Amino acid sequence: MTDAAMEISGLNRNDRFTRGSRLVDALSKTGLLLAILAVVAYGSFASPAFFTTGNLLNVLTSMSIVGIVVVGMTFVLVVGGLADLSVPATIACGAILSLGLQPLIGPVPAFVLAVALAGLIGLLNGVLVGYVGINPIIATLGVGTIGLGIVQAAVGGVIVYGSNTASAEFAKGRLLGIPVVVLIFLVIALIGHFVLSRSFWGRWTLATGGNYNAAEASAVPVKAVKAGAFVITALASGVSGGLLGLTLQSARPLIGSGYEFSAITAVVVGGVSIIGGFGSVPRAIAGLIFVQLLTNVMVLQGVRTPIQGFVLGILIVGAVGMDAALRKRGVV
């Protein structure tokens, strides 16, 4: 009976969309792959430097550092936590501490401690967002600024250099011809994908993002799940920062600036919903590959930096707009 009323007012479009949306549905799944292929095709056609092992390995390596953050950021968006803006601070924390503590406790404990302290920043984010209920943008911005301040004060605002050559060799090295950083990224991406799509924690994350109240009324520990997404992102950023420090062998407090934007761009372009409840790690990584390749082609073509920013901005707005439109039509 209620359906009848919705029909009168033209609200009940579900049926039409489940029938007519196959094309849209297929496009939303394969659109990004097609876009990546298009960029590769254009790149190899337009620039002789593009389709070379050296260039592609470069893209892959720089992509891996952001990619580790992207895996974490996917959880934040899916759980309905909007975005984590403390990423620059957690990356700096990971980079500075993993280099700065080397002379004191050795390279491996330094790395582990750096990641753990980054995780602590994430825990603070998580408590503020999940338990206290502060808007994530404000909470992570505040915590990030505080964290960055502490790290800056701790090292006296100067650049920290690496002192352990063995760890530097490892981070810059290759295994079976593949850079170690890329391998670490792949492992983290696989773990992230497994947790989000196959584990109870991932299902809880999707449910909390999909309908917070219903998840709570289904005995899902929603506050912990929400907080957990920020801890996951901070741990990932800590690892990413540590690797960045080891490869560069130097770290300054602003080493991580811009990574939050790159990560959010990748996740959103990958079609992960900014409202939460929908998304996967492979989608986010597809978004990352697309954005990174596009940037690389623009660099090779000599496109100036402001124009590059312009293009990436349009991509974000377009992706979010598309998400909103698809959601309204009930496709995703």
Partner 1 sequence: MVHQEINLVPDLTVAENVYLGRMPGKWSYLRKGEMVRKAAAVLDELGAAINPRERLGNLSISQQQLVEIAKAYAAQPRIIVLDEPTSSLSEHETAALFRILRKMRDDGIAIVYISHRLKEVLEIADEVTVLRDGSMIETRPIEGITAGAMIRLMVGREVSNVFPKSAAEIGASVLRVERIGDGASFRDVSFDVRAGEILGLTGLVGAARSEVARAIFGLSRIVEGSVSINGRKVVISSPSAAVRAGIAYVPEDRKGDGIVPGMSVRENISLPILRRLTSFGRIRGSADRSLSALYVKQFSISPPDGERRINLLSGGNQQKAVIAKWLAAKPAVLILDEPTRGVDVGAKAEIHHIIGQLVADGMAVVMISSELPEILGVCDRVVVMRDGRASQPLTRAEFSEERIMALATGEEAA
Q: Write out the residues near partner 1 by the rule CB under 8 A.
A: 1-5, 8-9, 14, 18, 194-195, 198-201, 203-204, 206-207, 210-211, 213-221, 277-278, 330, 332
The smaller minimum CB distance to partner 1, of residues 49 and 320, is found at 320
Q: Which two tokens stand for residue 233?
A: 């992102």
The smaller minimum CB distance to partner 1, of residues 42 and 201, is found at 201
Neighbouring CB atoms inside 10 A of 332's CB total: 18
The smaller minimum CB distance to partner 1, of residues 214 and 254, is found at 214
Positive or negative, the Cα torsion across 287, 290, 293, 299?
A: negative
The smaller minimum CB distance to partner 1, of residues 13 and 172, is found at 13
CA 94 to chain centre: 16
Q: Which two tokens stand for residue 17?
A: 């969309």
Shortest distance in whole angstroms from residue 11 CB to partner 1: 9
The smaller minimum CB distance to partner 1, of residues 195 and 320, is found at 195
Shortest distance in whole angstroms from residue 330 CB to partner 1: 8
Shortest distance in whole angstroms from residue 269 CB to partner 1: 20
Shortest distance in whole angstroms from residue 199 CB to partner 1: 5
Residue type, 25: D
Shortest distance in whole angstroms from residue 111 CB to partner 1: 25
Shortest distance in whole angstroms from residue 211 CB to partner 1: 4
Phi and psi of 32, rounded to 5°?
Answer: -70, -40
CA 215 to chain centre: 24
The smaller minimum CB distance to partner 1, of residues 17 and 42, is found at 17
Measured CA to CA in angstroms, residue 125 lies from 89, 255, 264, 301 at distances of 12, 20, 17, 40
- The three-state secondary structure class of 38 is helix
Supply the DSSP string of 41-66, one letter for each residue.
Answer: HHHHHH-TTTTSHHHHHHHHHHHHHH
The smaller minimum CB distance to partner 1, of residues 174 and 198, is found at 198
Shortest distance in whole angstroms from residue 28 CB to partner 1: 14
- Residue 281 CB burial class (10 angstroms; 0-12, 13-18, ≥19): buried
**Residue 173 DSSP one-character state:** -
